[in-house]
Structure formats: structure tokens, C-alpha cells
Amino acid sequence: MPSIPASAEAAAPAVLSLSGLTVTFDTPRGCFTAARDVTLAVERGECLGVVGESGAGKSQVFLAVMGLLAANGRAHGSARFLGTELLRLAPAALDRVRGAGIGMVFQDPMTSLTPHIAVGEQIAEVIRRHRRVARVEARAAALTLLERVQVSDPERRMRQYPHELSGGMRQRVMIAIALSGEPRLLIADEPTTSLDVTVQAQILALLAELKRERGMAMVLITHDLGAVAGVADRVAVLRAGSIVETGPVAAVLKAPRDPYTRTLVRDTPRLDAGTDAAGQAPGTSAAPRAAALTLTDLTVRFGRLTAVSAVSLELCAGESLGVVGESGCGKSTLVRAALQLLRPSSGRVVWMGQALGDLPKGALRALRRDLQIIFQDPLGSLDPRMTVGEIVGEPLRVHAPDLERGARAAQTAALLHRVGLAPQLASRYPHELSGGQCQRVGIARAMILEPRLLICDEPVSALDVPTQQQIVTLLAQLKRESGMCLLFVSHNLALVRQLCERVLVLYLGRMMELAPSPGLYTGPRHPYTRELLAAVPIPDPDIQPARLARARPGEPPSPLSPPSGCVYRTRCPYAAPVCAQRIPEWEQLPDGRRVACHRWRELPVSDSGTAVILRP
């Protein structure tokens, strides 16, 4: 018998205890160790946060526990669930443990649900696997579960198919399925990563509530320290397959001992302690600057769907503007229309006095050297059949066709160096690079023509936290050096605060608020901005649980049938009858900010923004 930590075993048997768990994969290129000697325990009623970047092996550890490793994977060591050794359990017995003993929620709720079966039936099916009940009873139980996980209009949802639900609703359905066996332990693997901040907060709040209510033990696998701060009691930090630090959440987040954990904590942007971009360049926003990019009443329609509705804004030379909002708010469409990658349905885009929509094709192409863009998917935005050198050098081939091959290669190498990549990488293919390296290649390609406007469309949302911070730092540095304008699209408000002088808040394709970023973050005027800010997780276990508990319900309505009047009124806590009748004006406030809200005058103004963010 291998010795198990006897003291822990005797005192109160942990719900799950791993000791010396090692996960290996046999690959054609040899044996690969995904997790090495992982020892941890999850006590009754406790939530353990497992933190690490992608590839750290955090998912593989728990897939091994569930017996769900890929065919070439093997687990050694011990994983005990309520005293039962899971690693050597027969498949049939393991099946009983899965679901009834341990429930699991995955990152992508779409691929975890069967597309052609109504969700009610899917939940009922799982219930009938666990308990011998009649079909009708199972349906009733499924309905109760859906109500419990706060699915709106559960009767109707029962008959809907997964694709008819929003991402947040699908994740709730997944949680309902995981709860249907009344498990003692719930493993949630990045349950909120693909969701918006607002929905993220709702789901995390729901998980915290369920944990309390059922005394259920929970494992929350995530790369987001904010999520951990709100829900977890203890934290285990994984790096390259090994645990580098474990401890109570407050101790780990506030006084990390391991250097890696320290980097992680330092690099997680904090909304409440952020430095403002405007603060770094004092006085610049006060001086009147010439408008470089002007959008006037820009509208983009796809058939019946209005993705962007009458957006007007000015971007001054050398300014950085953030565009924030939930997914589907039209922020990506807006920047693509600004670049004429999409043809706007109406409205004008003027760059340095030239209306882009009226330009002949050739002239627009020549102008593109001034207007560059970085994309969200670092790997997907690079041609898989081209080497890094060819990718970065391609803009030169287009805009400086006379340049000789050698000169082009030299410029490419210089740019690679400038974005922090080794010049030898020029001969690599994109798939041979990490996500962060790929994004640097994308930045190098955009910067090689020395553009005067750089648009970043969610440039870091696919990257790990430390990498995010590096890329943002790089962007800030490039902007300082070149004096270009920056249009930064993101759903991460904490990052936007670091980088942008002004911020535009979009909701369902409409402008809600436009303000200098210090003002917006400390004293948001629009109720939607308030909701967004309140939903951003703060990696501080002292305040985050309380913030989470106040998460507001609701998701954006379908853009196919937007509400009348103010589009935000269906979620707005301050909605009045007038909001349904008239579309609010895009009003200019005395201090220069702009808000589209009927009631902004009556709403409590917070003198200090942290008050709004941190206290009700």
C-alpha cells in the first residue's frame, strides 16, 4: 500500500484526494508528461480553485480523475473519491461514480450538448439514468432543475434545442445536467471562459450559491484569478504539470510565495487599482487635436439584422480609444466597417479628410498602409502555408513592390526584433509558435508599414493572463514610439483602462456612453456602463464574493428584434415608461462626455467611482 497522508484521512475524509497523480501521453515523438506528481485534496463543502495557463495540465488532471483521458493517455498514482480509488475502477463502476458522485461542467456548452435533442429531454434522460423514475417525473425534475439554475422561462426552454439558447443559458443547462445526479463533487472546467463578463458573473454567482446550498464540494478550473477570488476557498496553482503553490485563497492571492504565482497576480489587471492611460500622458487630452478618423452615422445591416446603428465618433491623431460591450454588440463589425472590410449600409468613414467609401479601389488599397488591424485569433489570422517571414513581409510586397528581397528580409527581421521575437523565427510556420508569439507576428505584420491607425480587435482575449499583459505592454510601447492612433476593441474593461484615453460603450449596436477613461471608470453615467463595471471580477477575495452576490440577471435581447425606445431598458434597473417610447438622445454632458439615457440626470452620481464599483 502506498502511504496516504494519514492525518488528513483520519480527521475528515476528503471528498477528493489526489496523491502523486501523474498523467502521461504516448505520442509518436515519445512520452509526454502532462501532469507530474499532483497531490491535493478537496474537503466537504469546499471549493478548490485550480489555476494555471493553458497547457499547464489542469484539465488533464481532472479528466484523469474522471477516467476521461484520451486513448493514448495514462494516469499513475492515486485519486480517491470518498475513499474509493478511481484510477483502478472498472468502467461500469466508474460510470456510476461519474454523474452520481461527480458532476462535470465543461468550457464549451455548445459542443457538450447534443444538437438535435431538446434540452429538457437531455436533462430528463440523465435523470432517468441515475434514478428509476417515470418519464413524466423525470420531466418534472428537469423543470425544477432548470428553475434552480435560474433559466428564464424554463417551460419554453425545455422544448428548445441547444442552438436556440444563448451561451449563458446553455451553460446553465450544463450545470443542471451536472446537478441531476445530485453529485457530491462538481468539477467545473473553465465554465465561464467563453462567456461575457456580465454572464460570467451570473454563472459564477450561481455556482457559489449552489455550493453553499447543497454543501457540495467543487473544483473550479480556470485561468482567471478574478473568478477564483469570488468563489474559491482554497487555490492550487499549476505550472507545467506541477503544483507550485496551494493555500487559502486570501493567502495565495494577497501574499503569493511562489514567483510564478506572483507573476500571475501581478499581471492580472485590476479594475480598482488600474493605472489610466490618460494619466501616463498628462495634458495630451486637454489640447485640441485634429480628428484623424471620423465616423458619421455609421450603420451596418445584415439582412434584417442591424449590427451597428448610427455610430458617430471622432478619433484624434495619436489618441487611443477603447470600444467595449458584450459579444454581439457590434464592436467587431464597427471596426471592420471603419476599415471598409465590410461595406457600411449607410454613414460615412472619413480618414484624414478623405471619405473612404467614395475612394476608388486602387486608392483605398494604397491608403490601407495607414490603417492596420490586429485580429482576435492569433493563429487563425496567419496563413498556415506561409512562414513567419513571408507573413510579416507581405505588406511590403504589396506597398513597396520595388523593394529587393534582401531589403525586405532585413526590414522583416527588424520588425520581428521590435515586437520581441527572435529573427530566426522568420523561417518558422505559425503552428510552430505559441499563441503569444503568433499575436506578436500579427502585430509585426500590422506595424511594418508604420501605420497611423492601428485597430486591435480583441487582440488578447485568446491568450493567457501573463501573455495578455505582455502584449498590452508591447502595444502601449509601440503606440508611444510611433504616435499612431489606437482603436482597441475588447470586452476586458480592466485592460481597456490601461491602454485607452477614451472609451465607447456599445450595446446592441448602439452607443451608450463615450467618456474619457478616468471619468468612465470612476463615475459611470449610463446604467449599462455601471452594470458592465460591476460585473468585472476583481482578484481580491475580500471584496469579490460580495460583488458576485450582486450580479444582475439578464442577457442582451436578440438583435433581430431590439426593444423599442432605449434598447437597454429590458435589463435596466432604472427603466421608466419613457424609455420604451422614445430613443434617448446622444446627449453631451457639461464635462464633454456623452450619454444616451433618458434618466442620467436623476441617477445617483458617484463622486468616487470605486464607490459605485465596490459598494452598492
Minimum CB separation of residue 394 from another protein in Å reads 6
Report d(CA 115, CA 238) in Å as an integer.
34
Residue 339 within binding range of another protein, rule CB under 8 A: yes
Report d(CA 373, CA 332) in Å as an integer.
11
Minimum CB separation of residue 241 from another protein in Å reads 16
**CB of 445 or CB of 593, closer to another protein:** 445
Beta bridge partners of 456: 374, 488
Q: Of these, 375, 488, 528, 568, which contacts another protein (CB under 8 A)? A: 375
Residue 445 within binding range of another protein, rule CB under 8 A: yes
Cell of 65: 480523475
Cell of 37: 506528481
Residue 99 within binding range of another protein, rule CB under 8 A: no
**CB of 199 or CB of 449, closer to another protein:** 449
- Give the residue from 252, 276, 273 showing the smallest Cα distance to 264: 252
**Interaction mask 396-435, another protein, x per CB under 8 A:** --xx------------------------xx-xxx-x----
Angle between helices 405-418 and 388-399 (to 10 degrees): 120
Secondary structure class of 97 (helix, strand, coil): helix
Total residues binding another protein (CB under 8 A): 36
CA-CA-CA-CA torsion sign (156, 162, 163, 169): positive
Query: 110-115, long-range: CB within 8 Å, 24+ apart, which pairs?
Result: 110/162, 110/163, 110/167, 110/170, 112/174, 113/162, 113/170, 113/173, 113/174, 114/162, 115/161, 115/162, 115/163
Cell of 75: 494516469
Contact window for another protein (CB under 8 A) among 56-64, 110-118, 188-196, 372-380 = 372-380
**CB of 445 or CB of 497, closer to another protein:** 445
> H/E/C letters for each residue in 396-437?
HHHHCCCCCHHHHHHHHHHHHHHCCCCHHHHHCCHHHCCHHH
Report d(CA 103, CA 181) in Å as an integer.
7
Residue 365 within binding range of another protein, rule CB under 8 A: yes
Secondary structure class of 575 (helix, strand, coil): coil
User: Cell 446622444, residue?
Assistant: 586
Minimum CB separation of residue 247 from another protein in Å reads 32
**Interaction mask 494-533, another protein, x per CB under 8 A:** ----------------------------------------
Contact window for another protein (CB under 8 A) among 151-159, 381-389, 524-532, 583-591 = 381-389
Residue 381 within binding range of another protein, rule CB under 8 A: yes
Minimum CB separation of residue 484 from another protein in Å reads 15
Q: Of these, 52, 322, 344, 395, which contacts another protein (CB under 8 A)? A: 395
**CB of 161 or CB of 429, closer to another protein:** 429
Residue 366 within binding range of another protein, rule CB under 8 A: yes
Q: Of these, 309, 320, 372, 529, which contacts another protein (CB under 8 A)? A: 372
Report d(CA 186, CA 143) in Å as an integer.
20
Report d(CA 353, CA 358) in Å as an integer.
12
Residue 304 within binding range of another protein, rule CB under 8 A: no
Residue 385 within binding range of another protein, rule CB under 8 A: yes
**CB of 414 or CB of 611, closer to another protein:** 414
Q: Which residues bind another protein (CB under 8 A)?
A: 336, 339, 341, 364-366, 368-369, 371-373, 375-377, 380-387, 390, 394-395, 398-399, 424-425, 427-429, 431, 442, 445, 449
